[in-house]
């Protein structure tokens, strides 16, 4: 008998994946956690039935949410990741030699534990001595740390349920206060194809807080529509015009310096959404 994983994040559309084996499924304190091995995409992490990452395409998301802000900032030394318990964002951050410390603030300790066990290619950076893991509420952590981080990456699940508080103007104001005077914030901000209202709301909330706010896109096959947005808010540096001529070369599969500039060129329908 064939086993299929069915994701129904979008009300009127579903995505399905043929499963070889269920490696772990458990109810954590916060959510339903499952890691399966699929035929098409390798091992896959889902939370509450929604795909978070897969071995085959995780590099797109993790490289774009990391290298755009870190190469835009002139000298990022201290980085905060809110969410991101799979560890992929931390792995990419650690490719930047200027970074002295990464704090991963993850509310669900079981995500970290199971990803270390079943997704070592993604979670490998979590054991690095530069990485400090804090188990707790990201909103509370940000509130209690002022003027401390050069870059803050909100690597959260979708803006529903437990993660809803990580999207919105009040949290972005707290993030601004947690950042240093030339700090940069970035978050994954959903699909403009299926959730245009969410994309616009989050973009407008960030724009009300940060003097430089930009939205860019990346192609991520396992996220609904395969067309995903990220919103970056900066106090000083413009990611679209960043001088990348003297930046180091790092090992990537998706991000390039040319793509860094090109990803901010938006299709007309997305420009219309943001207007």
What's the pLDDT score for residue 163?
Answer: 46
Give the residue among 248, 216, 222 at the shortest CA–CA distance from 76.
Answer: 248
Rounded to the nearest 5°, which phi and psi values hold at 26?
-155, 150
What's the pLDDT score for residue 134?
Answer: 97
Tokens 């430089």 appear where?
A: 212
- Rounded CA gap, 53 and 64, in Å? 14
**pTM for the full predicted model:** 0.94
Q: Which residues of the chain have pLDDT under 70?
A: 1, 157-169
- Decide if 70 contacts 111 (C-beta within 8 A): no
Residues at the annotated binding site? 31, 62, 86, 106, 137-138, 155-158
What's the pLDDT score for residue 136?
Answer: 95
Residues 69, 72, 75, 78, Cα dihedral to 10°:
-10
Handedness of CA 65, 76, 206, 258 (dihedral sign): negative
What's the pLDDT score for residue 9?
Answer: 78
Tokens 């043929």 appear where?
A: 18
- Rounded CA gap, 268 and 229, in Å? 14
- Strand partners for 216: 230
- Rounded CA gap, 106 and 154, in Å? 11
Active site residue 155: yes
Residues at the annotated binding site for S-methyl-5'-thioadenosine? 31, 106, 137-138
What's the pLDDT score for residue 1?
Answer: 66
Going by C-beta distance under 8 Å and a sequence separation of 6 or more, which residues neighbour residue 258? none
Q: Report strand pairing: 42-47 vs 179-188.
A: unpaired
Residues at the annotated binding site for spermidine? 62, 86, 155-158
What's the pLDDT score for residue 159?
Answer: 54
Of the candidates 108, 150, 155, 205, the residue annotated as catalytic is 155
Q: Which long-range contacts (CB under 8 A, 24 or more apart) does 121-124 make?
A: 121/55, 122/53, 122/55, 122/58, 122/62, 122/86, 122/87, 122/88, 122/91, 123/86, 123/87, 123/88, 123/91, 124/87, 124/91
All structural domains of the chain, each given as residue ranges with its CATH number in brackets, are: 3-54 (2.30.140.10), 58-274 (3.40.50.150)
- Strand partners for 215: 231
């Amino acid at each position: 008998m064939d086993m299929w994983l069915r994701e129904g994040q979008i009300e009127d559309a579903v995505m399905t994946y043929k499963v070889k084996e269920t490696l772990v499924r458990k109810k954590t304190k916060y959510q339903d956690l499952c890691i399966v091995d699929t035929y098409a995409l390798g091992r896959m992490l889902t939370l509450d039935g929604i795909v978070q990452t897969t071995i085959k395409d995780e590099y797109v998301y993790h490289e774009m949410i990391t290298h755009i802000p870190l190469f835009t900032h002139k000298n990022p030394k201290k980085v905060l990741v809110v969410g991101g318990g799979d560890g992929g964002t931390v792995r990419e951050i650690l490719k930047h030699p200027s970074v002295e410390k990464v704090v991963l603030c993850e509310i669900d300790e079981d995500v970290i534990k199971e990803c270390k066990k079943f997704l070592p290619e993604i979670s490998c950076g979590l054991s690095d001595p530069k990485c400090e893991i804090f188990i707790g509420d990201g909103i509370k952590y940000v509130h209690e740390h002022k003027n401390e981080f050069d870059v803050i990456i909100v690597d959260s699940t979708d803006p529903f349920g437990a993660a809803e508080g990580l999207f919105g103007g009040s949290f972005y104001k707290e993030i601004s206060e947690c950042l240093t005077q030339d700090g940069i914030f970035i978050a994954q901000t959903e699909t403009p194809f299926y959730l245009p209202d969410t994309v616009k709301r989050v973009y407008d909330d960030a724009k009300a807080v940060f003097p430089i706010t930009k939205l860019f896109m990346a192609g991520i096959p396992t996220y609904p529509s395969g067309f995903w947005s990220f919103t970056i808010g900066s106090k000083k540096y413009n990611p679209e015009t960043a001088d990348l001529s003297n930046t180091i070369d790092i090992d990537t599969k998706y991000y390039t310096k040319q793509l860094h500039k090109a990803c901010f060129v938006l299709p007309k329908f997305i420009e219309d959404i943001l207007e």
